[in-house]
Chains A and B, each alone.
Chain A
Amino acid sequence: MSSIKIELRQEDITKIREICDSFNKDPQELINILHSCQEHFGYLPAEVQEVISAETGVPVAKIYGVVTFYSFFTMTPKGKHPISICMGTACYVRGAEKVLDEFKKELGLQVGQTTKDGKFSLSSLRCVGACGLAPVVLIGDKTYGRVAPDDVKNILKEYE
């Protein structure tokens, strides 16, 4: 028997069921179901995967296999202020990696992780279409352009 306790609020269970129903609980639609659930919850914790499994009949091991295969899916909740650093070609050649390293150092995080207080999460992405501003950093909806490693401290201060 699984040691994972599937404990969720009723409204969350209802929401997952609604999403599964909207795809007729079709196992073939698993990826779409996962997309919708991640859109709603922000991430795909074990509990959510368990409920999807119960609804669709797809073994939870298979669901976990899909979630861990596609890098778009995440099992870690995003922070209140999700930080994305563009690693597209333009940003990369203008020093995005150094900027990313600075964020990692300041927050003590690796890419894909979230701070313990849930405030910041760190991710990298490929090209946001603002190459003129390279290197680009997104925090939530806000865009920062021509970011240098030295700016990182000040940027983070805005969110204190």
Chain B
Amino acid sequence: METIKLTIDNKEVEVEKGTTILNAAKKLGIDIPTLCYLHLDDLNIENKPGGCRICVAEIQGRRNLAPTCSTKCEDGMVVKTHTTRVLNARRTVMEFILSDHPKECLVCAKSGNCELQDMAHRLGIREIPGAEYAAVSTYKFDTSPSIKRNLDKCIMCRRCEMMCNEVQTVGALSAVNRGFMAAVAPAFEQNLEHSTCTYCGQCVAVCPTGALTEVDNTPDVLRALADPSKTVVVQTAPAVRAALGEAFGLEPGTLVTGKMVAALKALGFDYVFDTDFAADLTIMEEGTELLDRITRHLKGDKTARLPILTSCCPGWVNFFEEYFPDLKDVPSTAKSPQQMFGAIAKTYFADKIKIDRKDMVVVSIMPCLAKKYECQREEFSVDGNRDVDFSLSTRELAAFIKQANIDLHSLEDMDFDAPLGESTGAGVIFGTTGGVIEAACRTAYEIYTGKKLDRLDFTELRGFEGVRAATIDFDGLKLNIGIAHGLGNARKLLNDVRSGNSQFHAIEVMACPGGCIGGGGQPLHLGNSEILKARAAAIYNEDRKKPLRKSHENPFIIKLYEEFLEKPNSEKAHHLLHTRYFDKKKKIIVKQ
């Protein structure tokens, strides 16, 4: 490794050749302010377009200030990061950015959590010279089922473009036009709804301003809670409990399951249930389907296609419908836990408490923005009445709790309600990458072999590498399992499936890096993988503490099949818990 020495702010530092000044300064504990820069440490991806010019510094012997995020260190370089010239330049740059930015901080959804606002504060901006003369660009406002775009607030950091193209390979967003009219937009500046967007929300998760935000469904939920004729049922996804605390100042990885339940009860929900219950149900359906397909495949049945792909992630479903419609019979037909929950709540549970499905409102709390779109899909409603009415993100729930003057810290832990609140550890680990397939293995193994598993932790399926492979021995049957998180990684595995080179029997895919714990609806982690690892650890911790850790041992699941669904993959289960997929790829039509 070749190293070089340089001086930053009178301190000498030795770094590997190729290191940027910004990273060399970090090594010295010097925190140069950055705005457009973003480092996704676990993916080893840096967004450093050098566009915003906030991170500039003075290099001895150079006439111009250099952006430190994209300037490489040279041997003997002398860098100064806070000279008068540098500070003035930063302030001027910031004033220019702000002159073309709406002054709406008081009512902006991002206020208090906005990197632009923080930077203005850090740089001590107290006025925006010429703001009254400056023309402010105006763009068309765009809203979709999941994501809102307000490009007036865009500062062209292009982080969203990097997430959409490099990490997710979705390619819905690109920088378009030039100069004052420059923006990040879908092709032909159409709305997101008409692009290849999967609503994974990773663009929202990295946006430093209020340009990209989630659609806020809190008012809809508030209205339902205020309506005495409605029974409002809420379900919470596994990844929410591992991240909600962060919005209340708790350390990443603090589990707040009991407090979250208490807060939801305090908010006035009639029944607080757990999506983990539906996750257990998913395992019953998907695991059975997996075993059925593998057994048929081994017997030479050509219609049983392998690998089977998981289907709980709505961003992933949108992705393969758009990019791999030729493979749409490969994923499991099992609905996602969110939708299974809705289907059971509005049939089985509505019957139990003797109300009409129209008088029940099902709300989901999700780490995800694609879930908002998923619950609006036509196939998930009965006569126009959705199985899941509204989906709120973890961030929206945090804001909702704060609005209602509920002090999360002082709440006594409470338990989920029965019967749809009972879950096993297998349901919990759905929240992190590798968790769904691990949960499926726990159940499928015991059903297939008829033997008890002696170890429940399939550590070979855990971890954070983008693509992982492991072989699980089902008593002689060697199952090859693939795992991908992040749509770019999923694409690699899907290309192999398409070309017939895939060695896997089953593949788990999660659209977001890290799985649901890194979802587009979670408190922002801005690429810091330590936060994701802490959330994952919290989830495995909750799994370990559960008395039951295999989905098929959940007594309420057993009861549900006895009383209502008969058996996994029964006709009734198929009707309520399975779905189909659509070809959404654009077609080239030949004009006659």
Contact = CB atoms under 8 A, between A and B. Distances in A.
B7 interface: no
Nearest to A51: B588
A6 B188 contact: no
A71 B27 CA distance: 43
Contacts of B222: none
Contact of B194 (A2, A9, A49, A50): A2
Given A50-B588, A59-B165, A61-B187, A2 B195 contact: yes
Given A59-B171, A59-B196, A62-B174, A46 B188 contact: yes
A6 B588 contact: yes
Nearest to B590: A10
A132 interface: no
Contacts of B591: 7-10
B171 A62 contact: yes
Contact of B589 (A1, A3, A5, A54): A5
| B170, B190, B591, most chain A CB atoms within 10 A | B591
Interface string B564-592: 00000000000000000000101111110
B175 A65 contact: yes
A117 to B, nearest CB: 22
Contacts of A65: 174-176
Given A3-B194, A7-B591, A60-B187, A50 B174 contact: no
Contacts of B588: 6, 8, 13, 50-51, 54
B178 interface: yes
Binding site of A, secondary structure by majority: helix, strand, loop or mixed? helix
A6 B188 CA distance: 13
B196 A69 contact: no
A72 to B, nearest CB: 13
Contacts of B322: 1
Contacts of B173: 61
B330 to A, nearest CB: 20
A63 interface: yes
Contacts of A63: 187
B290 interface: no
Contacts of B189: 64
Nearest to A10: B590
Contacts of A61: 171-174, 176, 185-187, 195-196
A9 to B, nearest CB: 5
A113 to B, nearest CB: 16
Interface string A21-61: 00000000000000000000000001001110010001111
Interface string B153-183: 0000000000001000011111111100000
A68 interface: yes
Contacts of B186: 61
Contacts of B172: 59, 61
Contacts of A7: 589-591
B190 A68 contact: no
A1 B194 contact: yes
Nearest to B588: A6
7 contacts: A2-B194, A2-B196, A3-B194, A6-B586, A7-B590, A46-B188, A61-B172
The 4 closest A-B pairs by CB, nearest first: A59-B171, A61-B174, A65-B174, A60-B187
Given A2-B187, A61-B186, A61-B195, 13 more contacts: A3-B194, A4-B187, A4-B190, A4-B194, A6-B587, A8-B588, A10-B590, A59-B187, A61-B176, A62-B171, A64-B174, A65-B175, A69-B175
